[in-house]
Structure formats: structure tokens, C-alpha cells
Chain A
């Protein structure tokens, strides 16, 4: 490398650092450190994969939704998630990634998705609880990302967050309706809360002292708050909602700390989290198998579209 190029690169780095320091956005045309680009591609792809895999647990209830209104709400929601996946893959493509390649990496298990989607949806109450807790946790994670330093990601997140908050309200409304319903429905809701509460806390990722990439992501303005800080915010927000709903959160240690006005909660079973993240959750294989089948069984459709476009582009 020549001395001239060295100088130029250091200038670029300086400009990049100043942009971050002034809380301005990095745009696709701007120079960025390779590690920043890689971190973003990994994070955005993981987020996009989560949207697409996340369609499956709720999608499993589409054909059996218990009223036509609930079916319409759920179908619109699952469709929105496909849309979120599309914007996010498009944001990753502004960094030079390719959607088909990212999908291949997902299917080959070289990239991850949120571990929460490896749990099964056993009853229709799970649809409501996913809306309330899982989308609620996702919103806590994602609202700060609307200020992420990378422009296309931040802008995609604004739209995603608006739609997520709509889904979260719909989930809560389903649970409210079920809690006003039969005893069987109330029991279904409590059972679903019991199963999803701890996994929802794990959505914020490992504790701060065990989260090796967090500091760099925060320095780059990709991430705005630590995992533990966001988790605490989620708990503080959710406990009063559980009271309104009339369900018990399955944590005997959950209590308001009068001095901080924040809720203390019991220890999270991180061994379960590691088990699921490493591919051994209840539904990991099923989720990837279905995604693979959607790609492979329909490969002939995309080949046809490509061939048709080639014939008719002349």
C-alpha cells in the first residue's frame, strides 16, 4: 500500500468517526470501516432472517384461526413480517450483500435468527402472547435502532416499529378478549404466558458481562443501549400490563424495588438459551427444513421467471 493511500484512508476514517461522533448517519455511498460493514450485514441479516422464520410459529395457526376476523388479522400480520424481511434484506443489499446468498447462509445455518422462534405455538393463545411479549420485546430492542448510525437500517426500522406496535396491540387485544372468555380460554392464556415469559427475556441477548460484541456496536452507534438495560426496560413496561390482563408472570422473585422504581426479577436460565441458540431448541430443525423446502421445492419457479425475463428483455 502506498503512503498516499494510507493518508487517504486515515482521512476517511477520521470523517467516518466524526460522522458517528456528531450522531449523523452513514449512507451506502460513504466510506466505512470493513468491520463496521460486516457487523451491520450480520446484524441486519440476522434481523431479516428472524422476520422470515418468525412467520412460521404464528403461520401455523393461519388455517385454523377460530374466527374470520382473527384469521384476517393474523394473515395481515404474517404478511407484514414478509414485508419486514424484504426491507431488511434490501438494507443489507445496500452494504453489498445479496438476498439469495443471505438466505442460503440461513439455510446452511451459517447465520442465526432470533432463538425465540424455535419454540412451538401450542394453542391459539400463543398467537396473542407472541404479539404481546415477543413483539413487545422486539419493539424495546428496535425503537432505539430507528437511531442506528446506518441510514438505510434506521429508516427501515421506523416502518418496522410502527407495524410491530400495531401487532403488539392486536396480540394484547386477543389476550384481553380471551381473558374475558371461558375458563378454558383463560387457562390457555396463562399457560402460554408461562411458556413464553422466560424466552422473551432471553431475546435481549446475553448479560452485558458476557456480550463480547456489544461495546464495539455501541461505539459505532449501531446499538444504543446494552442488553441488560433494554431487558430491564421491557420488564418495567410489561409487569403492569400483566396486571391489567390478569395473568401471573412465572417468576416468584419478581418485585418492585421501591428505591429505584424498577422491577427486580429472578435469574435467567442461560444454559437453555445457549442450547436453543446452538441449534438444539424444540423447533430449530423444523424451521430450517421448511425454509429450505420453500427455496428448493420452488427453485423451478424462479428459474422460469429468469428464463422468461431473458427471452422477453430483447
Chain B
């Protein structure tokens, strides 16, 4: 290797002239090549609303996981947690983009300038009560036990959704789900391995894991009642009714907890999700304030 060669020379040779200056950010249009026409018999507003639900779950959980950056227990966890956050951020971008193509932008589109893409208009220019994520993903991250128990629940749930959405009549949702299933399988297994270690590790880690399970279990109540949008879209072959896989998720979580020597609290009675209706805990607003602050300070800027 010739060490007088700089990376610039290499870039210049590969791309010639001006190419070296702004080459290689490598993020293409996420929906390129996929037919974005809304399928026959499907209400675009419903489809967009559904994409917001799934997109907001991913965006908010990604932000919570990103809070661990530079603060993780080990470098391996630094990499793995960032990896989960990046996967979810990628899913959020695709889903918010799909909500945009369905025209579900509301006020956010007029608050954001033209140059801002739909995904950012939706992420940065909606108020907390316009977010449609489940409360499970927004509550404070807490310690590493809380983070891993939450990731286990959220990824077991999301994997059940995405596994079924691969057969969605919406080609975009189907493509997003097919990619996401691999990612979510890893997230679920990663979280499950940590729940095992923490539950069956030391007395202290067991105590912390048990506290996390007790704190998060009641939020399972929100996850399995279909909204009206989900019911209509399930009828149209586009979405899935979460009530249909409650037993499956319950079994997955039960298996992990038993092997982790943790007691499963009583399974809560399902209720309509407040988050899906825009009703959130006080913990969401500060999360969004941090996420959105800079973009809103410079509404005419392009990044």
C-alpha cells in the first residue's frame, strides 16, 4: 500500500473531478422502486393513520434506545443497542414516508417548509397529542434492566405484527415488514438473552429485572385492542388485528420470564390504547422537545 496516497486520491480516482466532494452518504430514497399506489378498496387516510401508529412506535423507541449512546455497560452493548435503534429509525423513516404518500400529513406539512421531506415534517412538526405510539415505548428508559425488558416486550409484539404484515395487500407495508422481520428477530433475541442473564444473574440484577417487569407489565393492556382503523384495514387485507396474536406474545414472554426465573405478573385485561388515540404520559413531551427542538428553531433550513 502506498501511504502517500490519501483517501482523497482514492476517491478522486473512483469518482473523478467534483465527485470526491460530496460522495457517498449512501442513503437512497427508501421507497424507490416500490409501487406506492394505494391498493383498490383501501382508504388512503386509514392506511396513512396505520403507518403513523407503527412508525411512531419505532421512532419513539429508537429515541429511547439512543439515549444509551456513550452510556452503555460495555462496548458490545454500545454497538448492539445502537444497532436496534438504527433499525427502528430505518423502519420509522419508511413508515412515516408511507404515511406521507397517503396524504396523512395534517398540520405538520404546513408548519414545515417545502424543502423538508414528509418523514421529517411528521417527525419534527407534530405535537405530542398527534403522535400515535403506544405508551409502552415512550415511558422513561430507566436502568439497563428496564431497557431490556421493554425491548423484549416491544420487539416480541412488533415481530408478531410484521410477520403477518409480510402478506399485506399494501406493497409498501409488505416490503417494510419483510425487511423488518429479520431486524426484529435479532432485537427480540438480543433482549431475551439479557433478560435471562439479568433475571438469573445476581440477586441485584434479579431484583432490578423484577422491578422492570412489574413496572412494564401493566402497559401490555394497551397492545391488543384493535383501533377502528386497524379493524377496517384488517378487513381489507392490509393490516393485522393485534387481538389475533395476544396469546402468541403472551407465550413468548412467559417462556423468557420462566427461564429467567422471574415471576410473570398477572396478564392485564386488554383495553383500547390511549397512545393510539393521542393520549400520552407526561414523559413523551420532553422526549419530543429534544428530538424536534433544533429542526423547529430553523424551519427554513435544509440539512
Contacts and interface: CB of A to CB of B under 8 A. Distances in A.
B205 A303 contact: yes
B295 A290 contact: no
Contacts of B3: 143-144, 146-147, 224-225
A72 B89 contact: yes
A221 to B, nearest CB: 12
B293 A290 contact: no
B45 interface: no
Contact of B25 (A169, A309, A311): A169
Interface in A157-181: 161, 164-166, 168-170, 172-174, 176-178, 180-181
B197 A78 contact: no
Interface residues of B: mostly helix, strand, loop or mixed?
Answer: helix
B110 interface: no
Contacts of B285: none
B86 A76 contact: yes
A85 B75 contact: yes
Contacts of A161: 7
A82 B69 CA distance: 10
A182 B295 CA distance: 13
Interface string A73-88: 1011011001101100
Interface residues of B, number: 64
Residue among B3, B7, B67, B78 having the largest count of chain A Cβ atoms under 10 Å: B7
Interface string B49-83: 00000000001000100110111111111110011
A147 B116 CA distance: 45
Contacts of B25: 73, 169-170, 173
A56 interface: yes
Given A72-B93, A78-B69, A301 B205 contact: yes
Contacts of A67: 116-117, 120, 124, 295, 303
A75 B1 contact: no
Interface of A: 52, 55-56, 59, 62-73, 75-76, 78-79, 82-83, 85-86, 89, 124, 139-140, 143-144, 146-147, 161, 164-166, 168-170, 172-174, 176-178, 180-182, 184-185, 224-225, 233, 237, 241, 244, 290, 293-294, 297-298, 300-309, 311-312
Given A176-B21, A185-B298, 18 more contacts: A56-B70, A68-B96, A68-B119, A68-B123, A69-B303, A72-B86, A72-B89, A75-B69, A82-B75, A82-B79, A124-B294, A124-B303, A164-B7, A184-B301, A185-B301, A290-B70, A300-B208, A308-B200
In the A-B complex, the 3 residue pairs with the smallest Cβ-Cβ separation, listed nearest first, are: A304-B201, A304-B205, A298-B73
